[in-house]
Amino acid sequence: MVGSENFLPTLDFAKQLDKNDSLARFREEFYINPNSIYMDGNSLGLLSKRAERTLLNTLQDWKDYGIDGWTKGEQPWFFLSEKLAKMMAPLVGASAEEVIASGSTTINLHQLVATFYSPKGSQTKILADELNFPSDIYALKSQLHNHGLDPDVHLIRVKSQDGRLIEENDIIEAMTEEVAMIILPTVLYRSGQILDIRRLTDEAHKRNILIGFDACHSIGAIPHSFTDWDVDFAYWCNYKYLNGGPGAVGGLYVNRKHFGRSPGLAGWFGSSKDKQFDLEHTFTPADTAAAYQIGTPHVLSLAPLIGSLEIFAEAGIENIRQKSLHINQYLMDLIKHELVDMDFVIGNPSENIRRGGHVSLEHSEAARICKSLKENGIIPDFRAPNIIRLAPVALYSTYEEVWKVVQTLKVIMKEKQFEKFANEREVVA
């Protein structure tokens, strides 16, 4: 039996699933290229009409008010990061005061490590994993260098047993008395594995270790409860599932129990709002997560998030998660049914509780297959050395599109269309 209950591999079945889709109306909110099928929303989400509107409104405020746009207009810029924090907070399971829209993923990681990493005595090591996104590892190494510590000694990376997944037991075993801080992804970017955030946080705190999470590949795709789970801090980008646009301003979370801790990297936009324009050389930080801002917000890169997050509030993250699970299961069912004996391996976990928002399809010719998919009007995502990431996104992907993707893959493999391409990535993969 293949995968889901009542599964059928027919186009009619896909169309029926689309008719029954309670989120189908949100597809009309997005700009969809009629000549292609977009399966790369886990790298860059599509533009919504509301995001376009709120960006254009912000441009209009700049046109109408000039510098007074900081305090006037449809959405005054001086308070925009806090407004967006309030809109993002339900997606990470936090209060608005614990969240701020600021910086980028790596800048926010630098800020949080600079703030919370305090090596003392033999407790000097940072624990991460060997499958984490490279930028996080670069940041951790540079922070260790700034403390005069050798990353080869003081950065521990938990090994994967199979090259796909990281086992929580292995992470917990590595939580020795030498570890001062833990940085882990909520969802592994290659395999889509969800880590057990609550369990890992509990185990870290039993050992008096601070723990933070990179939520880039989970925010907007799965619900979180960072405050209830007592996570110390987290950070993320907003251009993947949250559709904030290329280079969108990121976000960070700091548990309120840490409020009052001085930012490791202080900057004037971390000031208390009522003190910021006193322009004193004594820093008076905000008494919320806003304290961990550094520089002036990139207003034009914040503006699309206003419209995008309105959609998430209407759709509901629990509903988004349910469709995401279902449409990705449907994709896996089709792969198992249609692509037999073609050397494909599904590399993501099969259990709902352990898989994020994309399917990780492995093949030795992955780079060539991705190029062939693009030639056929399908936009996938390649991750070296052998992964085709396919991400049907709950707000705008259809079951019929998923059906067409798998049928196209079947034709590509049967006709060996991929053989005309080199099996190497493009400059941007």
Same domain, residue pair 130 and 214: yes
Residue 284 assigned ligand-binding role:
no
pLDDT for residue 5 = 65
Residue 259 assigned ligand-binding role:
no
Instruction: Give the CATH number, domain containing residue 23.
Output: 3.90.1150.10
Cα 352 → chain centroid: 18
Residue 115 assigned ligand-binding role:
no
Residue 372 lies in a domain: yes
Among residues 313, 341, 358, the one where a domain terminates is 313
Same domain, residue pair 95 and 60: yes
Among residues 293, 313, 333, the one where a domain terminates is 313
Same domain, residue pair 58 and 162: yes
Residue 39 lies in a domain: no
pLDDT for residue 4 = 60
Residue 106 assigned ligand-binding role:
yes
Same domain, residue pair 227 and 255: yes
Same domain, residue pair 265 and 129: yes
Same domain, residue pair 26 and 56: no
Structural domain harbouring 340: 11-30+317-420
Residue 211 lies in a domain: yes
pLDDT for residue 211 = 98
Question: How many domains would you assign to the chain?
Answer: 2
pLDDT for residue 1 = 29
Instruction: Give the CATH number, domain containing residue 154.
Output: 3.40.640.10
Residue 333 assigned ligand-binding role:
no
Residue 37 lies in a domain: no
Residue 5 lies in a domain: no
Same domain, residue pair 209 and 347: no
Residue 296 assigned ligand-binding role:
yes
pLDDT for residue 6 = 87
Distance CA 52, CA 49 (A): 5
Distance CA 348, CA 355 (A): 7
Same domain, residue pair 130 and 259: yes
Among residues 277, 296, 313, the one where a domain terminates is 313
Could you tell me if 194 and 353 are in contact, meaning their C-beta atoms sit under 8 angstroms apart? yes
Residue 396 assigned ligand-binding role:
no
Residue 3 lies in a domain: no
Residue 239 assigned ligand-binding role:
yes
Q: Residue 312: which residues within 8 A CB-CB, separation 6 or more? A: 87, 91, 220, 242, 320
Residue 268 assigned ligand-binding role:
yes
Same domain, residue pair 258 and 321: no
Same domain, residue pair 213 and 355: no
pTM of the model: 0.96
Residue 43 lies in a domain: no
pLDDT for residue 353 = 96
Same domain, residue pair 296 and 324: no
Same domain, residue pair 347 and 244: no
pLDDT for residue 129 = 98
Report the b/e string of 124-156 with b at 16+ CB within 10 A. Answer: bbbbbbebbbeebbebbbebbeeeebebeebbb
pLDDT in tens, the chain (429 residues): 244 668 999 999 999 999 999 999 999 999 999 999 999 999 999 999 999 999 999 999 999 999 999 999 989 999 999 999 999 999 999 999 999 999 999 999 999 999 999 999 999 999 999 999 999 999 999 999 999 999 999 999 999 999 999 999 999 999 999 999 999 999 999 999 999 999 999 999 999 999 999 999 999 999 999 999 999 999 999 999 999 999 999 999 999 999 999 999 999 999 999 999 999 999 999 999 999 999 999 999 999 999 999 999 999 999 999 999 999 999 999 999 999 999 999 999 999 999 999 999 999 999 999 999 999 999 999 999 999 999 999 999 999 999 999 999 999 999 999 999 988 888 777
Residue 429 lies in a domain: no
